[in-house]
Structure 1
Amino acid sequence: MPSSAAGATTCWSREFHDRLRAGVRERLGRDAEPSAGVIDSQSVKADAVVGVDSRGFDGGKLVNGRKRHVVVDTLGLLLGVMVTAADTGDRAAAHVLLRQVADSHHRLVRVWADGGYTGSLFEHCLATLALVLAIVNATTTCAASWCCPSGGSSNGSSRI
């Protein structure tokens, strides 16, 4: 294969991954294509060999490096991933990543996200991608006792 066809390997591995994900979902009694997902990001420190043009400073997490943005289905299986400089905002990356995920997963109708994805992204998802973006607040979802340990935990600490 000519070296100019660099995308061929990427396309092949994406198809392979899609088939594996569909097989796992079907074995678990689910439809091969997901109808809901979760989007989130994680900032990670970049090594000194990473060029300064591809890393940035995430002021919220105080990390100088890169940020990976992922969309997973409700089983935690990867639907899309994007790596940016850490100073890239979650909403800006979500515009691009959710477009890619919606284009390749036509059954997807709902995506859950944390408070970093508020604002005009909600209207964008609904109007242009036909996705319902549901913002989940940690205070409302953390009502179960297993999620928020009480002050009487066995190790003497009430920190999560």
Structure 2
Amino acid sequence: MPSSAAGATTCWSREFHDRLRAGVRERLGRDAEPSAGVIDSQSVKADAVVGVDSRGFDGGKLVNGRKRHVVVDTLGLLLGVMVTAADTGDRAAAHVLLRQVADSHHRLVRVWADGGCTGSLFEHCLATLALVLAIVNATTTCAASWCCPSGGSSNGSSRI
């Protein structure tokens, strides 16, 4: 089996996480499966142990490292995550990540994103994934804008 293949523990962990998220949503009076989500990304400096081939330079944030792209539901519960080199564009990563999330969360019909997810991604989401992509301006207040904390306690030991 190739080293890049997901092992049995990965599948078990994903199933456990899905059940936990569904339970939390139901306890809060929500449907077990979300119908809306938020996609965002965060660039972070890569630790010294991170190989040069898996990091990049994010010119917008002036960070040499990696970028984590996440999709959360409106409660902030994780639906999907992808880690790339920091020079990967948000649109390119969103194409892949939103397909994965849409394939595993069939009730999902709306996703909010920032200005990094504009252009052809809007048409792709609507035509291919049956998702409405809503772009939120930086001046617009969004209840889920905290899904990816910025800055904070990065001390150089982050290993994403």
TM over 0.5: yes
Q: Report how far residue 150 of structure 1 moved.
A: 22
Moved over 6 A (4+): 1-5, 142-160
Structure 2 distance, partners of 1:154, 1:45, is 8
Q: Distance between the aligned counterparts of 2:57 and 2:90, measured in 1?
A: 13
Which structure has the higher relative contact order (CA within 8 Å, separation 6+)?
Answer: 2
Larger of the two Rg values belongs to structure: 1
Gaps of at least 5 residues in structure 1 are none
| Residues 142 and 91 (structure 1), Cα distance of their counterparts in 2 relative to 1, 3 Å cut | closer
Structure 2 unmatched runs, 5+: none
Q: 1:153 to 1:134 in 2, by over 3 A?
A: same
CA contact (8 A) 2:114 2:136 kept: yes
Change (3 A) 1:28 1:87: same
Give the superposition deviation at 1:4. 10
> Aligned equivalents of 1:81 and 1:148: distance in 2?
11
Q: Secondary structure at the match of 1:140?
A: coil
Matched residues in 1 for 2:21 and 2:88: separation?
29
How many residues get paired?
160
Q: Is the 8 A contact 2:47 2:157 kept in 1?
A: no
Q: Percent identity?
A: 99
Checking the alignment, whether the CA contact within 8 Å between 1:151 and 1:157 is kept in structure 2 is no
In 2, the alpha carbon distance for the partners of 1:53 and 1:151 equals 24
Q: What is the root-mean-square deviation in Å for CA atoms of aligned residues?
A: 7.4
What is the CA distance between 1:111 and its match in structure 2?
0.1
Cα distance, 1:140 vs structure 2: 3.4
Could you say if the C-alpha distance between residues 9 and 35 of structure 1 is closer, same or farther in structure 2, counting changes exceeding 3 Å? Answer: same
Cα–Cα, structure 1 residues 57 and 146, in superposed 2: closer, same or farther, change >3 Å?
closer
What's the offset of the Cα at 1:49? 1.3
In structure 1, the partner of 2:65 is 65
- Partner Cα distance (1:57, 1:150) in 2: 17
Closer/same/farther in 2, CA of residues 63 and 14 from structure 1, 3 Å limit: same
In the TM superposition, residue 7 of structure 1 has moved relative to its aligned partner by 1.8
State the match for 2:84 in structure 1: 84
Q: Is the 8 A contact 1:152 1:158 kept in 2?
A: no
Give the 3 Å change call, closer, same or farther, for CA 140–157 of structure 1 in structure 2.
Answer: farther
Distance 1:131 1:4 in 2: 29
1:141 CA displacement? 3.0
Deviation at 1:146, TM superposition (A): 14
| SS of corresponding position for 2:53 | helix
